[in-house]
Structure 1
Amino acid sequence: MKIIKSATLNELEASEVFVEATFTKGLPSFTIVGMVSTAINESKDRVKSALLTNEYKFPPKKVTVNLAPSEIKKTGTHFDLSIALLISLYEEKIKDLEQFHVFGELSLNGIIKDSISIFPIILSLAKKSMIQKVLVCEDSAKKISKIPNIKIYCVKNLLEAIEFFKSEDKSRFLYKKQSLEYNKLKIRDKDYYFTTEYEQDFLDIKGQEYAKRAALICAAGNHNIILEGSPGCGKTMIARRLPFIMPPMSLEEILEVAKLEALNLKEPSFKPLRVQRAPHCTSTKASILGGNSLGEVALANNGSLFFDELPHFSQSILEALREPLQDHKLLVSRSNSKIIYDTKFLFIAAMNPCPCGNLLLKENNCRCNELEIKRYKSKLSEPFLDRIDLYVIMNESNINDKSSINSRKMHNDVIEAFKIQKLRGQKELNGKLSDEDIKKYCVLDEHSKEVLEKASINFNLSFRSINKILKVSRTIADLDSSENIKYRHLLEALSYRRR
């Protein structure tokens, strides 16, 4: 009995699968067993057609293919190549068959095609050090060539795959790996990538200097932010431009984003630009948090999640966001499984000051009464707001306002602050520091400690709010290239607290 290694995707993680086949006497038949999906059962016809069109006779025996272990549900069309190879090589003696993981969907004429699940599967196996050598088609090889520490062998069709296993010298099938062609900086022997393309520029925003300063702090430290202001003052413009000035990405982060893109049925771009997810306020709870498919919270990992018109989102959604905003993980329980999603995203929200939006305007009168304004803002609970680092009330827009700073300058400042944080030995950016790391990296002098103690008493700050102020102070100090948090940094951080 011959065995070829493959794998299947179970939600976000891959499980190794051993494809084995037996050929016994009896009425000719072809059966695939092992808790397989409809797509795998359909591979019988694709495999038969691919073999027959390439002048390989289908064995006149009872052919049984098993995908082990049988208790794991198998999905995907990438088992085609493994099954076809076992049948075509059943009389051959192949020494190194079990050294390779094989993935590929077969067309009816034997051409090997890529499938959307191959990249996430191989990335998952590579992260667990379960894969060393892999055989795929060229389209798959282009994607997985970014994954480190694996050897990739590339074939075009079933005949080449058969020749590959029969050949003793396999070096001619070896795929040359491709590196990322983007700006790169090395910090502590680790590479970080970024792009200097600014499709949406902060130069387009006139005035709003206070809000732009808050956006810079937000991007430099990955701090959650709420922008409150009248309609048309630039809240959404700031939110849409934030991803372009966010910190550089490690290769692991780029690959993880590409994996989520593939799971979301999109072609991975491998671009070091942090993704922004912006669901509509009418979105369901399942589409935000995840149900039978990935939710916006999971897809925003390593990027940003933007909620425009924040109070119009369902209160149950806003309350459910408390866990991913605090713990950076989300547990989704289903009938047969429990899945934990990483949710290390930057949360950005925009809201009007009242239902009609005119409360902060000097000339337009607000049409809302006190009860309507109170009901509007009461949708945002104290525990939810306690997870927000920066609360910014934006000015009324003015025709005389001018542009002051572009995204390139802001991005350079963010990169410099990013270097300082990484050189300090931080694994996480300031906004995502744990309580232990806050004590280690966010140290105040005696005078600043006294000021913070007075502020905590006067403003009735919670322990979480104090930590938020410390983390924002640390980012402001980093933007100022200051080794220690100073009095002025703490005062500026306090100015961004919710009043």
Structure 2
Amino acid sequence: MLSKSFGAAVYGVDARIITIEVNVGQGTKFHMSGLPDNAVKESEHRVESAIKENGLRMPRQKVVVNLAPADIRKEGSSYDLPIALSILKASDQISAEKLEEYLIMGELALDGKLRPIKGVLPIAIEARKNKFKGFILPKENAREAAIVNDLEVIGVESLKEAIDFFEGVIDIKPLDIDTRDVFMTEVNTYSADFKDVQGQENIKRALEIAAAGGHNAIMIGPPGAGKTMLAKRLASILPPLSLHEALETTKIHSVAGRLGDNASLIATRPYRSPHHTISDVALVGGGGNPQPGEISLAHNGVLFLDELPEFKRTVLEVMRQPMEDRKVTISRAKVSLDYPANFMLIASMNPCPCGYYNHPEKECVCAPGVVQKYLSKISGPLLDRIDLHVEVTPVSFDQMTANRKSESSADIRERVVAARDRQIDRFKDIKEIHCNAMMPSQMLKDVCQINEAGKTLLKTAMEKLGLSARAYDRILKVSRTIADLADSEEIQIEHLAEAIQYRSLDREGWAG
């Protein structure tokens, strides 16, 4: 007898419906077709054990399981539940008349209990798109799927519970979650706040500009100056995630299996800080079974690279294209996947191996030429994609012990949001651009117009400070953001002057 059920396979951050066909007939062997990987093939043993543990029998006949379309590779253990239900129906042990009305996914334990799976959110979205009545899945994943409206989400704990549901023995109410209520409750709940930072007002200002314009930034300073502490607080001043951004971010973390049990919607901007020993595949994504990397997990948030020169050169160079395209394409022989990668890069580094070059009190002990060699670990093309270079100096004892109250992240965020709103209005007719940092060079003449005094200042700065040609576009973009923060329609000379000081590493002779 033939039976059919439906599951899904995740490719990139999207899902595709998979039809599970089971035929039980004359013979003795178990056959599986449809390009299954080892995890899928091993489902035979999990399914057999789960069926026996629940007082049912595995057919001692020829069982053929086909996963269609047959030319697409199927990966993972999440097809266990639909395969088990289809075998039981094909062998006339259950009727399950509504089996084809639901999309079913879940990994079976040997005793028939269900274990959580990855990629639930894109699967739920695809199920609604294909007009399935509901989605049956492990209970631990139900909250994640329930953020998709117009879809019955049925969380079950075991194969027995799924069978009883289809047989009408029990009635399981669909899980209902008010997405907007969850979103508004969790939004902007950050543990780190700028109000805890004493001193470093110039660095706070630079990070406010970076947040307002979506600019990448690098902080250069001695050990213990507060670079990491400040970077951890950057996400708390970024504009709140929109519901669309939250869904995008949640999909990526769902595919990577990073949401955890009973999780639902990610409502705060991600902050990722990989160690400098990370590989290029772990950073940008890929592998034999392609998975999103750190740059995609930081989508709509912050990617912080601490001690930038310590990262392998190849690792840093693979970021260059994703930083421009705001996505990364993983290509294999039979498949090409796109992962979103719209992140803010915040990097920190010591100015030299000993860490005390340009320190106001301590003396640098590095040999001549070592500082330049250390800085040259960061390539020009990568540095070209970083808009703000900020020099961080240590906080004095008087500043650390002062009782002056620092500005909170919420207050800074208000100014950032106001500046972003001006940019959204400015670029409302251009779909691909949402902030000043995303402007292409050809737009600068129209958006970043400066008067004669500004042109004179910029020319003088480039000549006197030895600024490179690549600094020109960056200065204009940053000055446009500073003007937006000041609620100014035009870029004033003071906005340009402030932007010029954020190009430290472009200055000839900065490293001696």
The answer to whether the superposition gives a TM-score over 0.5 is yes
In structure 2, do the counterparts of structure 1 residues 286 and 135 end up closer, same or farther at CA, with 3 Å as the change threshold? Answer: closer
Q: Provide the C-alpha distance between the structure 2 equivalents of 1:18 and 1:441, rounded to a whole number of angstroms.
A: 53
Q: Provide the C-alpha distance between the structure 2 equivalents of 1:98 and 1:441, rounded to a whole number of angstroms.
A: 57
- What displacement does 1:34 show? 1.7
1:243-270 deviations in whole A, cap 9, x for unaligned?
A: 2222211233323333333444433453
In the TM superposition, 1:29-428 aligns within 5 A as 29-90=29-90, 91=92, 97-123=99-125, 125=126, 129-130=129-130, 132=132, 133-162=134-163, 164-165=165-166, 173-181=173-181, 184=184, 195-268=187-260, 269=263, 270-292=265-287, 293-334=291-332, 337-401=335-399, 402=402, 404-424=406-426, 426=428, 428=433
In structure 2, do the counterparts of structure 1 residues 316 and 155 end up closer, same or farther at CA, with 3 Å as the change threshold? Answer: closer
In structure 2, do the counterparts of structure 1 residues 465 and 148 end up closer, same or farther at CA, with 3 Å as the change threshold? Answer: farther
**Is the Cα–Cα contact under 8 Å of residues 11 and 337 in structure 2 kept in the other structure?**
no
**Is the Cα–Cα contact under 8 Å of residues 189 and 268 in structure 2 kept in the other structure?**
no
- What displacement does 1:398 show? 1.5
| Fraction of identical pairs, as percent | 35
Does residue 1:475 correspond to 2:456, yes or no?
Answer: no
Q: Provide the C-alpha distance between the structure 1 equivalents of 2:4 and 2:98, rounded to a whole number of angstroms.
A: 10
State the AA in 1 paired with 2:44. K
When normalised by structure 1's length, the TM-score is: 0.85
Q: Provide the C-alpha distance between the structure 2 equivalents of 1:440 and 1:160, rounded to a whole number of angstroms.
A: 65
Q: Provide the C-alpha distance between the structure 2 equivalents of 1:151 and 1:484, rounded to a whole number of angstroms.
A: 53
Larger deviation: 392-401 or 293-302?
Answer: 293-302
Q: Provide the C-alpha distance between the structure 2 equivalents of 1:452 and 1:286, rounded to a whole number of angstroms.
A: 44
Q: Provide the C-alpha distance between the structure 1 equivalents of 2:229 and 2:214, rounded to a whole number of angstroms.
A: 18
**Is the Cα–Cα contact under 8 Å of residues 444 and 486 in structure 1 kept in the other structure?**
no
In structure 2, do the counterparts of structure 1 residues 126 and 237 end up closer, same or farther at CA, with 3 Å as the change threshold? Answer: farther
State the AA in 2 paired with 1:20. E
**Is the Cα–Cα contact under 8 Å of residues 306 and 347 in structure 2 kept in the other structure?**
yes
State the AA in 1 paired with 2:302. S
Q: Provide the C-alpha distance between the structure 1 equivalents of 2:216 and 2:127, rounded to a whole number of angstroms.
A: 32
In structure 2, do the counterparts of structure 1 residues 460 and 100 end up closer, same or farther at CA, with 3 Å as the change threshold? Answer: farther
State the AA in 2 paired with 1:287. A
In structure 2, do the counterparts of structure 1 residues 260 and 56 end up closer, same or farther at CA, with 3 Å as the change threshold? Answer: same
- What displacement does 1:159 show? 4.6
**Is the Cα–Cα contact under 8 Å of residues 12 and 339 in structure 2 kept in the other structure?**
no
**Is the Cα–Cα contact under 8 Å of residues 78 and 105 in structure 1 kept in the other structure?**
yes
Q: What count of residue pairs does the alignment treat as equivalent?
A: 487
In structure 2, do the counterparts of structure 1 residues 429 and 217 end up closer, same or farther at CA, with 3 Å as the change threshold? Answer: farther
The secondary structure found in structure 1 opposite 2:222 is coil
State the AA in 2 paired with 1:207. G
State the AA in 2 paired with 1:69. P
1:124-177 deviations in whole A, cap 9, x for unaligned?
A: x369x346442224322211112345442444444553454456x999643323
Any stretches of 5+ residues in structure 2 without a counterpart?
A: 508-512
Q: Provide the C-alpha distance between the structure 1 equivalents of 2:446 and 2:153, rounded to a whole number of angstroms.
A: 42
Does residue 1:492 correspond to 2:498, yes or no?
Answer: yes
State the AA in 2 paired with 1:272. A
Larger deviation: 52-61 or 323-332?
Answer: 52-61
State the AA in 1 paired with 2:484. D
Q: Provide the C-alpha distance between the structure 1 equivalents of 2:421 and 2:208, rounded to a whole number of angstroms.
A: 15
The secondary structure found in structure 1 opposite 2:363 is coil
In structure 2, do the counterparts of structure 1 residues 114 and 456 end up closer, same or farther at CA, with 3 Å as the change threshold? Answer: same
Q: Provide the C-alpha distance between the structure 2 equivalents of 1:473 and 1:182, rounded to a whole number of angstroms.
A: 37
> What is the aligned partner in structure 1 of residue 22 from structure 2?
21
Q: Provide the C-alpha distance between the structure 2 equivalents of 1:362 and 1:93, rounded to a whole number of angstroms.
A: 80
Q: Provide the C-alpha distance between the structure 2 equivalents of 1:239 and 1:223, rounded to a whole number of angstroms.
A: 13
Q: CA RMSD in A?
A: 3.4
- What displacement does 1:208 show? 1.8
In structure 2, do the counterparts of structure 1 residues 437 and 106 end up closer, same or farther at CA, with 3 Å as the change threshold? Answer: farther
Q: Provide the C-alpha distance between the structure 1 equivalents of 2:154 and 2:457, rounded to a whole number of angstroms.
A: 60
- What displacement does 1:225 show? 0.3
Q: Provide the C-alpha distance between the structure 2 equivalents of 1:272 and 1:80, rounded to a whole number of angstroms.
A: 32
**Is the Cα–Cα contact under 8 Å of residues 88 and 162 in structure 1 kept in the other structure?**
no
Larger deviation: 353-362 or 64-73?
Answer: 353-362
- What displacement does 1:300 show? 2.1
State the AA in 2 paired with 1:253. E
